[in-house]
Structure 1
């Protein structure tokens, strides 16, 4: 009986062992460099995408006197808002308001703490800020109060107490890159996630018991 002979194929070499080893090492180095360049390129693209969607939220408060339409007098105002001066949308996860270091639930708590529970007449406020999306160049007023035409002790009290109010916001980009920003810091601080605080602030009011 005839047996088929099997031919084993071996890698072709140059016949010179030192040269074969050198070429093998060179091929390995080229492969590793190519892999590193691929990973570096992917990381660079990820950073570029993040940079092109970067929100930059600033916490604004104002008590400036503004001229009123059709009037010669300049009236004061109390205003708290979030401004997005970045190049990507900002999704607000939560806001915390503190008066003298104590967190406030809403404007009722704030007025109770700062202004002897005075009623708020003529204030424009937003019912909810959690989950709000601020477009690039956009602003999110939380509450605004223009000085009334007739003297109002509640307005005067809140206006005088503004330096005792500080607030912090946590927000994320569309790619869930999250940051915190407060009136006590000069720039946003990156965080892994916006962990819910014990007492988030909502501008709405609640009934006193």
Structure 2
């Protein structure tokens, strides 16, 4: 069958229309991806962890564990875990009993030693919430504050403070957080790594 000139032109036009349509669709999809990446970048959160032993504005010795959102978008912290010596820190008293009481205290008495120190006012910790919290851009939260006890009137607490000041450098942290677009990251310190994850870990109930 012979194809007339008119028919050939019609076929050429039809094929051209299809090609243009496909190209337009490709461009639209690519533009949509670019716009989405731009929006994601415009609200990117970055949670950082730090620890210190002195507050310069207050001129006060105080151990702190701090989390800061240094990004440009809000962050929801869905999981946070402090660890030391390969073990998670789930109870402050148990952690101090492991790390920071005098070696002369027998292992079976270390936890009661810490409880007595708290009860007798030798030392005190202040806590704030991190897990389950929304961090605004540039928001800074002191998760733990331990003011230095007086060496004369609180010698037991002062000794624990000094030991904890050395120990804090060996602590490790995992923190998982998400953006408003449900993009999530797992950050690890002191490694200073940050990797995207499909979802954050779910902490098992304490009674299980």
Query: What's 1:56 paired with?
Result: 46
Gaps of 5+ in 2: 102-110
Of 13, 38, 63, which aligns to 1:23?
13
**CA apart distance, 1:133:** 1.1
Return the alpha-carbon distance in structure 1 between the equivalents of residues 204 and 85 of structure 2.
17
Q: Distance in 2 between matches of 1:55 and 1:123?
A: 29
Q: Which structure carries more helix by proportion?
A: 2
Match of 2:159 among 120, 143, 153: 153
Output the aligned Cα RMSD: 2.4
> What are the superposed Cα offsets for residues 46-80 of structure 1, whole Å, 9 maximum, x if unpaired?
111111111011011113474855xxxxx543110
Query: Any runs of at least 4 consecutive aligned residues in structure 1 with deviations exceeding 3 A, and if so which?
Result: 64-69, 197-200
The equivalent of 1:138 in structure 2 is 139
Distance 1:67 1:37, change over 3 A: closer
Pair 1:68–1:56, CA change in 2 (3 A): closer
Cα displacement (A) at 1:21: 2.2
Aligned residues: 182
Distance apart, 1:111 and its partner CA? 1.1
Cα displacement (A) at 1:196 = 1.9
Is there any run of 5+ residues in structure 1 with no aligned partner, and where? 1-13, 70-74, 201-209
Match of 1:171, SS state, is strand
TM superposition score normalised by structure 1 = 0.77
Residue equivalent to 2:35: 45
* Contact persistence 1:103–1:199 (CA under 8 A): no
Residue 187 of structure 1 deviates from its aligned partner by 4.1
Structure label with greater radius of gyration: 1
Who is 2:107 aligned against? none
